[in-house]
Amino acid sequence: MTVHEMNIRVRFGELDPYNHVNHAVYISYFEAARVELLMEAGYSLAEMRADGHSIVVSEINTKFLGMAEALDDLVVETEVLEFRRVTSTWRQRIVRGDETIATQDLRAALITNDGKPVRFPEEMVASLRPWFADRTD
């Protein structure tokens, strides 16, 4: 298994009134990392949409374990846990050095442009295989 990593430097506009990263911004960080992983696997969202498909989030479980501040350098780690017929499960975490700031488990589905769920293509699953989690944990 290889964990996908995306680096982020916290910007001032992402802070709440307490000078910490706003909780909603972490969700954006996680989303940006998943989109980057998909692009590295050969699946841009625009191309998927043009081909008649979209990935939509159906469930998110986010835990906030620490606080990030302006100019902190963070890493968003992403791995794919599983694919089922029309859903996939992803695990992510945001770290600053050795400290875990937030974690997220997410379920997403593949749908057609008119909103109907469809099976993930085998070639897409295969292209994401380098980021599959080790199932022995």
Q: What is the pLDDT of residue 83?
A: 94
User: Per-residue pLDDT tens for 66-87?
Assistant: 999 999 999 999 999 999 989 9
Residues of the chain whose pLDDT is less than 70?
Answer: 1, 135-137
- Tell me whether residue 100 is in a domain: yes
- Tell me whether residue 107 is in a domain: yes
- The CATH number of whichever domain residue 41 belongs to comes to 3.10.129.10
Q: What is the pLDDT of residue 137?
A: 42
Q: What is the pLDDT of residue 1?
A: 57
Q: What is the dihedral of CA 90, 96, 101, 102, to 10 degrees?
A: -10
- Tell me whether residue 126 is in a domain: yes
C-alpha 106: how far from chain center: 8
Residue with tokens 């501040």: 69
Residue 37 phi/psi, 5-degree rounding, is -60, -45
* The two structure tokens encoding residue 44: 């841009």
* The two structure tokens encoding residue 124: 């897409």
Q: What is the pLDDT of residue 117?
A: 96
Number of domains in the chain: 1
- Tell me whether residue 136 is in a domain: no
Q: What is the pLDDT of residue 2?
A: 84
Look up the domain containing 91 and give its range: 4-131
- Tell me whether residue 38 is in a domain: yes
- Tell me whether residue 137 is in a domain: no
How far, in Å, are 30, 67, 70, 104 from residue 16 at the CA level?
Answer: 18, 11, 10, 20
Q: What is the pLDDT of residue 136?
A: 47
